[in-house]
Amino acid sequence: MLCSMGELKLTTHECPGKEENGILILDEDCADRLGDDIRDVLMLRDTTVEFEITSNRPDCLSVIGLARETAVSFDRPLTVKAPVVKGVGDGDKIDNYLRVGISAPDLCYRYCARVVKNVKIAPSPLWMRMRLRASGVRPINNIVDITNYVMLEYGQPMHAFDYKMLDGAEIDVRRAGDGEAFKSLDDVDHTLDSSMLVIADAKKACALAGVMGGANSEITENTATVVFESACFNGASVRVTAKKNGMRTESSARYEKGLDPENCMPGLERACELVELLGAGEVVDGIIDVYPTKAEQTVLPFTPDRYNEFLGMNIPHEHMLATLTGLGCRVEDGKIYVPSFRADLGCMNDIAEEVCRIYGYDKIEASYMNAETTLGGRNDKQIFEVNTESALVGMGLSQIHTFSFISPKYYDKIRMPADSALRRSVVISNPLGEDTSVMRTTALPSMMETLARNSNFNNENVRLFEIASIYLPHEAANELPDEKKVLTLGAYGNTDFYAMKGVCENILSLAGIKGVTYTACTDNASYHPGRCAKILTESGELLGVFGQAHPLMAENYDMSMPVYIAELAFDEIYAAANTKKSYKPLPKYPATTRDFSFVCDEGMEVGAIEGVMAKAGGKLVENVALFDIYRGPQLGEGKKSVSLRVTLRASDRTLTVEEADKVTKKILNDLKFKMGLELRN
Amino acid sequence: MKEKLSKIRLEALEQIASPDANLEEIKIKYLGKKGELTAVLRGMGALTAEERPVVGQLANEVRESIETALAEKMKELQAKALDARLTAEKLDVTMPGSPAPVGHIHPLTRAQRELEDIFIGMGFSIAEGPEVELDYYNFQALNIPENHPARDTQDTFYITDNILLRSQTSPVQVRVMEQTKPPIRIISPGRVYRSDALDATHSPLFHQLEGLVIDKGITMGDLKGTLEVFAKKMFGEETKIRFRPHHFPFTEPSAEVDVSCFVCGVKGCRLCKGEGWIEILGAGMVHPFVLSNCGIDPEEYSGFAFGLGIERITMARYGIDDIRLFYENDERFLEQF
């Protein structure tokens, strides 16, 4: 089969030859290589090594930086040739061409420039194009390729302006005007503001400093004179500018990490050296170097014993010295003079890391902390949470984890009233999507979603719980919201209201909360108005609500079967919990029981009957328990028969029949006068 | 009379031995007040003084042998009856058990509790903090100023300019350091948020567990020792760990930590993608800037910190290949744990 260059992802930039009608015509000098492997002819056998460079090491975003690391790692000498520029020597000077000023020295630390005249724009040589391509840079022409080549070799981003497009023979590094228009090299229009730095001539912005050049001064086939820029800009400023304009470039990615101002000059000289090497033009004598404030060199004490102590190692001092020297530091008289390209070295820890990583992290000896003993563990609330989880699992519920962010539409799905305070959520300003755009103020929608999903999967008899946070915003936007833990239960299938109530009762009982009351709740729109209860403490604090999901809510989740849910205020339950256990002596005297059966209206609450009975019986009543509910035709429509057993006991004696009868009489009396109930015949 | 007694014995024992013997009747017939043996004894008055003790002894022997035979027979019948009952009560043990309610702890919680317990055993307490957090605690106090390039690696959800969803649980460490004097030994497990679209390996919400130790004389060797104990407890006694240099703004020196693959050792398999090692932790010595920011003198104290993703460990542990399963909560998934 034949394939075109395009199919091989090649362009004529990378290959010696040209393309005609989709066919690659090799250059004539390839003629004698007939029969050779095409990969050798096209020089496609290069090996590319990829490095992951951490953000603190912009010096390693260069061939020289990596060579330095390699030399130290393998204990080999490093040789870096200083570039040599011959110059034209025709008496022409850069001052005849250009003046440079820095109006924003806080954002531009140094600006160096040289001028090249009689430029001959052409493709760069194959070796340069191949190296650029291997580094992921698209070759353009000799001048542009030189700037990219220097960036890769020295880590110094460069820019080339077409001199004739610069108005007024001057460059000013200044903040952009608010609303200033700028068209970048890639023909995109931008509107700038005063936080951004531009390279401007007398009239207009010609480059967005450190990010991208302008279309107005781009190098073209007709460019005759070039200004090379090699500068150092404030990293944060470049980062913000690139971000605001939506164009992160190779250049901005380097600048934003903080570059070395001392690297501007070698980079510029190397570019000019390459111009001469490639015969791309004549380098005009003279260099412009505006360098308002030179940073002071970092000097740190050389404390090898301290490094070893801190690392828990025993690295020989000579090894440390060799490492630091190899990395470009000068160590003299107990002091380390840090090179300007290592701005990341600023304290003892930094030096300790350098000597340790070159010596080898694998040589760190594992040791056990020789420190004060601490008593670890969970606090009471964390223990309570773990215990609650275990109890729920024991009761047959499975734990779920759901996202903390939801769609604001979910409040509608659970039929939350339009004026509910819970509709005010913490809003994410940059959400992934509407579905995950607000922090939930209730975990109910997530539970409903999960139940619905399980129902779609045809899972029968699903019983779930989640202990998770809800996020309740404050009035003031700059305050952090309250984060409260809630326990949400959900079930469908082989279950009912009383099964859900049983789980709630167990949780409260395990928490040791006594005197809880359950009152019917008819006005919560998420719940069936006749099958919903509020859980209140003795003092009337709300601990939760549970019941059957309102059929309309269930319908919003495409569930037609009864669904049971509970929303418990976990923090409040913990606050009310009494987990301290104490022993109460077992009864020494037997109990007496009396059974009561009444026929009453369907609407009468068993809880109310129990309450009256317990109160009437006084302190001899140990327990009142429902043991049967009966409905049948002989009772009549809307009636039910309720049977309760009262357990009576005294702690200091066996109750006599007379005593028990007396209490029974009192109970019957109260039931008759307070509730109109009489024993069933 | 002797013959009579012998005959009674013979008859009685014969009747007792018969398969359809009615033991109660036999007892009455021979030993009862009006029984045959009693009748014989009553007639003893007619015997001579010499004969009496002889016959009396014989009569007692006969009584004893009948009683013994009755008791033995009774025992035998009871045993038979029990056998019959047990045979009749035989159940089909291959039929399924009655369903007892059983729930399942979520695999993430299971792994988290296991991790917590390992560190609790080493004297760590569990610290918690807000998920909606100030930029200061999530970034600035951790040596990540505004516009720092490290912010790129953690695409963060913002609420306002200075309130965000924490992208790591490290802010908890800062809050603890601000409020507690060393020695500090805490872990902070919890939810963290990063603006990554949901796919098989990324989730905008996941769980982290970070640890922090601050005391006098804490070394990088201590960090390695602590993580080695953790790795052995979590992944098995054979497990080895490996430190690789890395950069985190809040630790210096910093390391990425790998554990030897607990499926293949270090031979290379599908789980470790042929590497033999699995990256599970970031760690390092707490940066002096972070310490002094929290009011702890870096000249006096040193410490280490580490962090791991609970999802990542849980997935490796149980062979789960899709992070979305954790948040879908399909009962068929949950019931496997």
Q: How confident is the model at residue A130 (pLDDT cuts 50, 70, 90)?
A: confident
In a shared domain, residues B283 and B205: yes
- Tell if the CB–CB gap between B149 and A55 is shorter than 8 Å: yes
B251 assigned to some structural domain: yes
Cβ atoms A180, A216 nearer than 8 A: no
To the nearest whole Å, the CA of A426 is away from the closest chain B CA by 7
Cβ atoms A16, A133 nearer than 8 A: no
Classify residue A195 by its DSSP letter.
T
From the list A417, A410, A409, A386, the residue with the least C-alpha distance to A399 is: A386
Asked if the model's pLDDT at residue B2 lies above 90, the reply is no
Residue A16, pLDDT score: 59
In a shared domain, residues A443 and A531: yes
B96 assigned to some structural domain: no
Question: How far apart are alpha carbons A557 and A415 in whole angstroms?
Answer: 12
Query: What H or E segment, with its residue span, contains residue B247?
Result: strand B241-248
Residue A287, pLDDT score: 96
- What ipTM goes with this model? 0.86
Residue A372, pLDDT score: 82
Enumerate the residues of chain B whose CB falls inside 8 A of the CB of residue A400.
106, 329, 334
Q: How confident is the model at residue B152 (pLDDT cuts 50, 70, 90)?
A: low
Torsion sign (Cα): A536, A541, A543, A546: positive
Question: What 3-state class would DSSP assign to B100?
Answer: coil
In a shared domain, residues B212 and B273: yes
pLDDT tens column, A316-357: 999 999 999 999 999 999 999 999 999 999 999 999 999 999
Alpha helices in A6-54 (DSSP H): 38-41
In a shared domain, residues B80 and B111: no
Output the domain CATH number for residue B244: 3.30.930.10
Q: Which residue of A has its CA nearest to B244?
A: A361
In a shared domain, residues A104 and A209: yes
In a shared domain, residues B121 and B191: yes
Residue A400: CA count within 13 A, CB half-sphere: 33
Question: How far apart are alpha carbons A115 and A609 in whole angstroms?
Answer: 101
Which amino acid appears at position B79 of this protein?
A
A681 assigned to some structural domain: no
Asked if the model's pLDDT at residue A1 lies above 60, the reply is no
In a shared domain, residues A101 and A185: yes
Return phi, psi of residue A45, to 5°: -100, 15
Q: In chain B, what is the straight-line distance between the N-terminal and C-terminal CA atoms, in Å?
A: 84
Enumerate the residues of chain A whose CB falls inside 8 A of the CB of residue B106.
398-401
Task: Tell me if chain A has a CB within 8 Å of the CB of B243.
Answer: yes
A584 assigned to some structural domain: no
Pick the range with the lowest mean pLDDT from A86-95, A296-305, B9-18, B103-112.
Answer: B9-18
A431 assigned to some structural domain: yes
Tokens standing for residue A100: 């440079």
Task: Tell me if chain A has a CB within 8 Å of the CB of B215.
Answer: yes
In a shared domain, residues B257 and B166: yes
Overall number of domains in chain A: 5
pLDDT tens column, A439-467: 999 999 999 999 999 999 999 999 999 99
Overall number of domains in chain B: 2
Return the residue in B139, B147, B191 with the most chain A beta carbons within 10 A, the one to mutate for interface testing: B147
- Tell if the CB–CB gap between B288 and A353 is shorter than 8 Å: no
In a shared domain, residues B271 and B210: yes
Residue B325, pLDDT score: 96
User: Helices B51-88 and B2-17 sit at what angle, rounded to 10 degrees?
Assistant: 0
Q: How far is CA A151 from the centre of its chain?
A: 32
Which residues, 6+ apart, have CB-to-CB distance to A629 below 8 Å?
A: A606, A640, A641, A642, A643
Question: How far apart are alpha carbons B277 and B115 in whole angstroms?
Answer: 20
E-strand ranges in A139-252 read 158-162, 170-175, 181-183, 189-191, 197-200, 205-208, 212-213, 226-233
In a shared domain, residues A241 and A266: yes
Residue A544: CA count within 13 A, CB half-sphere: 28
Which amino acid appears at position A9 of this protein?
K
In a shared domain, residues A284 and A385: no
Query: What number is the average pLDDT over the span A620-627?
Result: 94
Asked if the model's pLDDT at residue A22 lies above 80, the reply is no
Tokens standing for residue A118: 């009689």
B97 assigned to some structural domain: no
- Tell if the CB–CB gap between A309 and B124 is shorter than 8 Å: no
Residue B145, pLDDT score: 84
In a shared domain, residues A519 and A387: yes
- Tell if the CB–CB gap between A361 and B218 is shorter than 8 Å: no
pLDDT tens column, A355-397: 999 999 999 999 998 888 888 999 999 999 999 999 999 999 9
Tokens standing for residue B10: 């013979």
In a shared domain, residues A107 and A217: yes
To the nearest whole Å, the CA of A380 is away from the closest chain B CA by 11
Return phi, psi of residue B18, to 5°: -70, 145
A525, A551, A576: which is the final residue of a domain?
Answer: A576
Residue B99, pLDDT score: 81
Asked if the model's pLDDT at residue A3 lies above 70, the reply is no
Question: How far apart are alpha carbons B66 and B26 in whole angstroms?
Answer: 9
Query: What number is the average pLDDT over the span A505-509?
Result: 96
In a shared domain, residues A429 and A541: yes
- Tell if the CB–CB gap between B334 and A313 is shorter than 8 Å: no
**Domain region containing A445:** 380-576
In a shared domain, residues B76 and B112: no
Asked if the model's pLDDT at residue A200 lies above 70, the reply is yes
- Tell if the CB–CB gap between B132 and A483 is shorter than 8 Å: yes
Which amino acid appears at position B171 of this protein?
P
pLDDT tens column, B158-196: 999 899 999 999 999 999 999 999 999 999 999 999 998
**Domain region containing B71:** 2-88
Q: Which residue of B has its CA nearest to A503?
A: B101
Q: Which span out of A214-218, A352-356, B25-29 was modeled with the highest average pLDDT?
A: A352-356
Question: How far apart are alpha carbons A127 and A125 in whole angstroms?
Answer: 6
From the list A219, A232, A83, the residue with the least C-alpha distance to A157 is: A232
Tokens standing for residue B25: 């009747």
pLDDT tens column, A39-75: 787 777 778 888 999 989 999 999 999 999 999 999 9
Question: How far apart are alpha carbons A303 and A322 in whole angstroms?
Answer: 14
Q: How confident is the model at residue B22 (pLDDT cuts 50, 70, 90)?
A: confident
pLDDT tens column, A544-567: 999 999 999 999 999 999 999 999
Enumerate the residues of chain B whose CB falls inside 8 A of the CB of residue A386.
113
In a shared domain, residues A406 and A503: yes
Q: How far is CA A410 from the centre of its chain?
A: 24
This model's pTM is above 0.90: no
Q: How confident is the model at residue A13 (pLDDT cuts 50, 70, 90)?
A: low
DSSP class per residue in B145-161 = -TT-GGGGGS---BSSS
Asked if the model's pLDDT at residue A292 lies above 70, the reply is yes
In a shared domain, residues B64 and B154: no
From the list A415, A394, A525, the residue with the least C-alpha distance to A465 is: A394
B93 assigned to some structural domain: no
To the nearest whole Å, the CA of A265 is away from the closest chain B CA by 25
User: Helices B220-235 and B107-121 sit at what angle, rounded to 10 degrees?
Assistant: 130
Enumerate the residues of chain A whose CB falls inside 8 A of the CB of residue B220.
310-313, 352, 356, 364
Contact map slice: B 97-156 vs A, CB within 8 A: 100-106, 108-109, 113, 116, 119-126, 130-134, 145-150, 152-153
A368 assigned to some structural domain: no
A85 assigned to some structural domain: no
Residue A490: CA count within 13 A, CB half-sphere: 28
Question: How far apart are alpha carbons A532 and A550 in whole angstroms?
Answer: 9
In a shared domain, residues A663 and A569: no
In a shared domain, residues B187 and B145: yes
Output the domain CATH number for residue A126: 3.50.40.10
Asked if the model's pLDDT at residue A646 lies above 80, the reply is yes
In a shared domain, residues A427 and A342: no
A451 assigned to some structural domain: yes
Residue A397, pLDDT score: 97
Return the residue in A306, A398, A465 with the most chain B beta carbons within 10 A, the one to mutate for interface testing: A398
In a shared domain, residues A6 and A36: yes
- Tell if the CB–CB gap between B219 and A477 is shorter than 8 Å: no
Which residues, 6+ apart, have CB-to-CB distance to B109 below 8 Å?
A: A389, A399, A401
Mean pLDDT across chain A, nearest whole number? 93
A251 assigned to some structural domain: yes
Query: What number is the average pLDDT over the span B211-234?
Result: 96
In a shared domain, residues B49 and B119: no
Output the domain CATH number for residue A338: 3.30.56.10
In a shared domain, residues B194 and B233: yes
Question: How far apart are alpha carbons A619 and A647 in whole angstroms?
Answer: 11
Torsion sign (Cα): A588, A589, A590, A593: negative
Classify residue B50 as left (phi > 0), alpha (psi -120 to 50) or beta. alpha
pLDDT tens column, A244-277: 999 999 999 999 999 999 999 999 999 999 999 9
Nearest to A361 among B158, B185, B243 (CB): B243
To the nearest whole Å, the CA of A541 is away from the closest chain B CA by 25
In a shared domain, residues B263 and B301: yes
Residue B146, pLDDT score: 82
Cβ atoms B210, B168 nearer than 8 A: yes
Question: How far apart are alpha carbons B337 and B335 in whole angstroms?
Answer: 5
Q: Which residue of A has its CA nearest to B130?
A: A483
Residue B254, pLDDT score: 97
Mean pLDDT across chain B, nearest whole number? 91
Q: How confident is the model at residue A302 (pLDDT cuts 50, 70, 90)?
A: very high
Residue A568, pLDDT score: 98
Strand partners, A462: A492
Q: How confident is the model at residue B62 (pLDDT cuts 50, 70, 90)?
A: confident
- Tell if the CB–CB gap between B131 and A404 is shorter than 8 Å: yes
